Each structure stands twice: as C-alpha cells, then as structure tokens.
C-alpha cells in the first residue's frame, strides 16, 4: 500500500471586508489571486503555498492566537517597501537568536498578525 501524502496546505481566514483584504494582499503584498469564489478569495504564496479569505459577518473584530508567517529572503526590503506604502509595523525587523530567525510584525486590515521572517538556517 502506498503512503498517503498531502500536496500543500490551504488555510482559510474570515474577513468582514473582502475588498479591503483583497487590496492588501494583491496590491500591497503582490500576491496573485489564484481563485475568486465570490465571497472567498484564494491567493498564491510562492510556488505551492496558498491562503484564503472568506467574507463572513461572524469574522472576529480582533483575531487572536493566529500568526500568518510569510517567509522571505529580504525582510528589510519588505519592511522598507510596505513602510513606504503607509503600512504601520508593530515591530521593525530584528534578530531573534532563540529561534534563529530575523523577522518583523504587522497587521492586515482584518487585524490578523503577519510576520515576515527569514530563517538563519533555511529549512
């Protein structure tokens, strides 16, 4: 019997404002829209990563306990690009020796915490 495997993850998050979410992820972060399902949008992240957002009135006003981490080689470049576009960061780039990472934090229009991160020793 062959082993069962998964192709890739596709996490979905709720939003109260799909239009603002779409502007943020497509225009500011430059993620291509992989699929428009009407009240749900799926964005491509890298070669095989995907993330989805669905318009729901029950979306939390201030989500907690979730961090969307985007892995990038140039954390400082993303910080400069997004700062120049008016994005406020909760924490500027810094090294975290405990986890062997270099990272910064910001929030999307829904309040989800986003971490842009580079591993000292790539996976």
The model's confidence at residue 2, banded by pLDDT at 50, 70 and 90, is: confident
Neighbours of 18 (CB within 10 A): 20
Q: Which of 8, 34, 6, 24 is nearest to 112 (CA)?
A: 24
Let me know if residue 97 belongs to a domain. Answer: yes
Q: What is the pLDDT of residues 63-90, one digit of tens each?
A: 999 999 999 999 999 999 999 999 999 9
Let me know if residue 65 belongs to a domain. Answer: yes
Let me know if residue 3 belongs to a domain. Answer: no
Which residue segment(s) compose the domain that 47 sits in? Answer: 12-119
Q: How far is CA 67 from the centre of its chain?
A: 8
Is the separation of the CB atoms in 122 and 102 below 8 Å? no
Q: What is the pLDDT of residues 9-39, one digit of tens each?
A: 999 999 999 999 999 999 999 999 999 999 9
Neighbours of 60 (CB within 10 A): 16
Let me know if residue 73 belongs to a domain. Answer: yes
Interior angle at CA 93, CA 70 and CA 8, nearest 5: 10
Let me know if residue 2 belongs to a domain. Answer: no
Let me know if residue 110 belongs to a domain. Answer: yes
pLDDT for residue 114: 98
Let me know if residue 6 belongs to a domain. Answer: no
CATH number at residue 44: 3.10.180.10
Q: How many domains does the chain have?
A: 1
Q: Which of 62, 28, 55, 29 is nearest to 41 (CA)?
A: 55
Mean pLDDT of the chain: 96
Q: Which two tokens stand for residue 36?
A: 């428009």
The model's confidence at residue 1, banded by pLDDT at 50, 70 and 90, is: low
Task: Please state whether beta strands 12-15 and 49-55 pair in parallel, antiparallel, or not at all (unpaired).
Answer: parallel
- List CB contacts of 74: < 8 A, sequence separation 6 or more: 118
Let me know if residue 4 belongs to a domain. Answer: no
- pLDDT top residue among 49 and 123: 49
């Amino acid at each position: 019997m062959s082993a069962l495997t998964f192709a890739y993850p596709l996490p979905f998050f709720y939003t109260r404002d799909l239009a603002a979410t779409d502007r943020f992820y497509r225009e500011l972060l430059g993620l291509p829209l992989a699929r428009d399902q009407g009240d749900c949008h799926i964005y491509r992240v890298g070669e095989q990563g995907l993330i989805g957002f669905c318009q729901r009135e029950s979306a939390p006003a201030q989500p907690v306990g979730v961090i969307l981490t985007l892995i990038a080689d140039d954390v400082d470049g993303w910080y400069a690009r997004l700062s120049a576009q008016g994005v406020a960061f909760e924490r500027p780039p810094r090294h975290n020796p405990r986890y062997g990472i270099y990272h910064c934090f910001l929030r999307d229009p829904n309040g989800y915490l986003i971490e842009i991160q580079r591993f000292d020793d790539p996976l």
